Amino acid sequence: MTVALALGAAVMYGLSDFFGGLLARRTSVWSVAVVTQLSTAILIGAAAMLLPGRPAAPDWAWGAVSGIGSGTGTAFLYRGLASGRMGVVAPVSAVGAAVVPVVVGLVTGERPSMFTWAGMLVAFPAIWLVSASADHVAVSGRPQRMGAGVSDGLLAGLGFGLLFAALGQVPDGAGLGPPAAGQAVSIVAVIALTTLLRQAWIPRDAHAWRATGIGALAAAATVLFLFASQTGLLAVAAVLSSLYPAFTVLLAATVLRERIHRTQAIGLALATAAVGLVAAG
């Protein structure tokens, strides 16, 4: 069940990143991030009322921490994707998103099996290779600076890693209240970050408001990851959910007709092997 839920989260994250990146190229990155987080908060809040739980005070605190990670991770990821450097931003963010919760899981006493360890180790190069691209030219046709992509990817990865690690501390039975509160905090986090960077965040055009649909994908991904971390090891759920670049690449190939390069094909094969090993564990 953990494998299926985590892969479902990866699919939803991959879809949301693909469409979020497209919108971020057409309007303000920050307004897209705000609308996405707002939509996600509303949807998870509605789901929380349908699936009530009994969260304790620490659960609310972990939910708030997850919101900080979600908001900052989404904002920096969209800024990186808007530059057209997915081949740089995606692998760095995905690896960072996996490493942080794996470390947290090990520190808190998780002990994966040998097959699970093998699957997680295979997943890291898979995440990197599947996001690699021979095309390092932005949509505008002008070459992009490698440093900007790396910094955005690192910051996004730390944010998502914090999101995964914090949600992994919310126990089964707490319901969806804590992640809903976290998404509300994420809106504040994006606005605070935008203000700090002196950027405009108020949605002023139709492109920004189209991000409400992306919020639905992000909400589904968050809920699926939460359930995955509650039914199995946090490390396993985080690593499999961090395979989201594979689905972004596949979507780009089928929708935008982008060619899958040899390194990406190897990455997809390794991703399949990683899933099989984790499932066997």
Q: To the nearest whole number, what is the mean pLDDT of the chain?
A: 83
pLDDT band, residue 84 (cuts 50/70/90) = low
Q: How far apart, in Å, are the Cα atoms of 227 and each of 85, 158, 190, 223, 267?
A: 32, 21, 25, 6, 27
More confidently predicted of 93 and 215 = 215
Give the tokens for residue 214.
């992306």
Whether the predicted pLDDT of 45 surpasses 90 = yes
Q: Which amino acid is at 92?
A: V
Calculate mean pLDDT across residues 14-37: 88
Alpha carbon 194 to its chain's center: 19
Task: Give the end-to-end CA distance of the chain in Å, rounded to a whole number.
Answer: 12
Backbone angles phi, psi at 137, to 5 degrees: -115, 135
Q: How many CB atoms lie within 10 A of CB 260?
A: 16
- Give the whole-angstrom CA distance, residue 96 versus residue 33: 20
Alpha-carbon dihedral 24, 27, 30, 32, rounded to 10 degrees: -60
Q: Which amino acid is at 98?
A: A
Calculate mean pLDDT across residues 49-69: 93
What tens digit of pLDDT does each residue of 107-157 get? 888 887 888 788 878 877 877 777 665 444 344 444 444 445 667 878 888
Backbone angles phi, psi at 143, to 5 degrees: -60, 145
Calculate mean pLDDT across residues 12-35: 87
Ramachandran class of 198: left when φ > 0, alpha when ψ lies in -120 to 50, beta otherwise: left
Secondary structure (3-state) at 143: strand
Q: How many CB atoms lie within 10 A of CB 75?
A: 31
Calculate mean pLDDT across residues 45-55: 89
Answer whether 277's CB lies under 8 Å from 116's CB: yes
What tens digit of pLDDT does each residue of 145-174 get? 444 566 787 888 899 989 999 999 999 889
Give residue 135's pLDDT: 46
What are the start-end ranges of the H helices in the chain?
A: 2-24, 29-50, 57-82, 86-107, 114-131, 146-167, 177-196, 206-209, 211-231, 234-241, 244-255, 262-280
What tens digit of pLDDT does each residue of 184-215 get? 999 999 999 999 988 888 888 888 898 999 99
Give residue 138's pLDDT: 40
Give residue 139's pLDDT: 42
